[in-house]
Structure 1
Amino acid sequence: MHELPLVAATQLQQARSSSHGRASRLLLHMNMLRTSLIALTKGSVLDEHEAPHAGTLQVLEGKIRLSAESGATLELAAGELAEVPQERHDLLAISDAVVLLTTVTGVSGPEF
């Protein structure tokens, strides 16, 4: 069990101390399912990267912008949940933010 408010506060404090403006912690790893908490300071970016086979992003604190390679953008604020785009994408912290990323990994086919 993880106390998300406590973990979020700790990770955000670490992000503020980091030269990269971010900190993350793997909370759960059960077979193909992974849940990570990521904290970012305002203006910090997770550079463009490949999409997981499937995933969701829930904003616990702050506000973020997901930008997909196709040009689609999605802004999410605290309390909002969305699917991770199924294409290369990046993530920008519009304000200090903490997100919960849940992904399915280790899957090679289109269906599982």
Structure 2
Amino acid sequence: MRKLSLDALAREHLAHAAASANGRSATTVHGGHEHVLRQTLLALTAGTSLAEHENPGEATLQVLRGRVRLTSGDTSWEGRDGDLVLIPPARHGVQALEDSAVLLTVAKRP
């Protein structure tokens, strides 16, 4: 068994994102390409976006810190500390409305 502090990881990666030219930092906290389930902590500075991309499987975005906007087509959802946003099975993008850390959970489709 392994235990991780998402708070500590969020602090660490928000600092990395702030020091990065692209305003982002990420780490896989569980799983990987060879697993069905993958969890990735993403830190984004305010105004930083993840460009629109395909959804590789069932996915959620848990906002650990900050405020983000998830967009898909003409629809958008805002999430803030503690919110869990269900990612639609369609092309989507994410924008940090303020410095933010999120936990992306994806279960790949077979």
- TM-score class, shorter: over 0.9
Task: Provide the rounded CA distance (Å) in 2 between the counterparts of 1:82 and 1:44.
Answer: 18
Give, as a single letter, the amino acid of the residue that structure 2 aligns with 1:54. E
| Per-residue deviation, 1:85 | 1.5
Amino acid at match of 1:97: S
Structure 1 match to 2:6: 4
When normalised by structure 2's length, the TM-score is 0.92
Alignment partner, residue 43 of structure 1? 47
Which of 1, 8, 21 matches 1:19? 21
User: Aligned residues, how many?
Assistant: 106
Distance 1:13 1:6 in 2: 11
The normalised TM-score by structure 1 is: 0.91
Matched residue, 2:104:
101
Corresponding residue SS for 1:51: coil
Distance, in Å, in 2 between the alignment partners of 1:19 and 1:48 is 20
CA offset digits 1:36-72 (Å, max 9, x no partner): 000000000001110121011100000000010x211
Question: Where does residue 86 of structure 2 map in the other structure?
Answer: 83
Percent identity, aligned pairs only, is 37
The answer for unaligned runs of 5 or more in structure 2 is: none
Residue aligning to 2:65? 61
**Following the alignment from structure 1 to structure 2, what is the Cα–Cα distance between the partners of residues 49 and 83?**
15
Rounded to whole Å, the distance in 2 between the matches of 1:79 and 1:22 is 20
Counterpart among 34, 37, 46 of residue 38 in structure 2 = 34
